[in-house]
Amino acid sequence: MAAKILAVTNQKGGVGKTTTTVNLGASLAAAKQKVLLVDLDPQGNATMGSGIDKGGLAKTVYHLLLRERTLEEVRMASPAARYDLIPANRELAGAEVELVDLPNREVRLKEALEKVSADYDYILIDCPPALNLLTVNGLCAADAVMIPMQCEYYALEGLSDLIKTIKRVRSKLNPSLEIEGLLRTMFDPRNMLAQQVSDQLQQHFGDKVYRTVIPRNVRLAEAPSFGLPALVHDRNSKGASAYLTLAGEILNRHHEENVR
């Protein structure tokens, strides 16, 4: 059976996108799922957060997209997070320009992942916070999109732009692309505006909004500086616990979909 491929994306930066990809990946791996994480962001934060030094890498997703290396040559294990990783670093920024004139430029990641999809239960793609060719590659490769977002004033505006983008990709490149769910991140229940935005999301998107809410949490914020998912850094923290709950919610959802 092929893996469920989720693109974790939001055109707005600083919403907990990479934190979600790394911690959800580690939580699914802790639930005995085989996970591959693809870092598609030139900042390489998901690579660093998985305990891999991005500076010393000779083979990355950049070489995979340009077809200079195979997926097997680029893939590596993250001992800290217990998943496999296709890493990224600053070199990936150049791929944007180099891909423009190449054939099948939007589906290069999709074609690479098709060869290993049966080896995994979940493939998570950490997309950059911009709508560019890298993000389009992520959206073309994915079955569904997970959208992490903060419950703040500008979030809904950014969300409508992202949904337009997803619709465009669906109409031209990937007709089966769905919105998997919206994840409320860095949530502070004492903030009235956060509560109001959260209520609006639930009214508009219903059960597309995950029941799990990711709180603001110091341990979650500091874990990347140790090159660890929160689950390994401090398993008892509220942040780690929230991502374990999210993994459980996703596994239940997909189990119910498969039973239908």
pLDDT of amino acid 133: 92
Total Cβ atoms within 10 A of residue 168? 13
Mean pLDDT by 10 residues, the chain (260 residues): 93 87 97 97 96 93 96 95 96 89 94 96 95 93 95 80 91 95 91 88 93 90 88 87 96 84
Number of domains the chain contains = 1
Q: Which of 62, 11, 31 is nearest to 165 (CA)?
A: 11
DSSP 19-63: HHHHHHHHHHHHTT--EEEEE--TT-HHHHHTT--GGG-SS-HHH
CATH code for position 91: 3.40.50.300
Maximum Cα–Cα distance across the chain: 51
pLDDT of amino acid 47: 97
pLDDT of amino acid 236: 83
pLDDT of amino acid 169: 94
Question: Global pTM?
Answer: 0.95
Query: 126 is in which domain, residue-wise?
Result: 4-259
Partner residues linked to 181 by β-bridges:
146
Residue 41 and residue 89 in contact, taking contact as beta carbons nearer than 8 Å: no
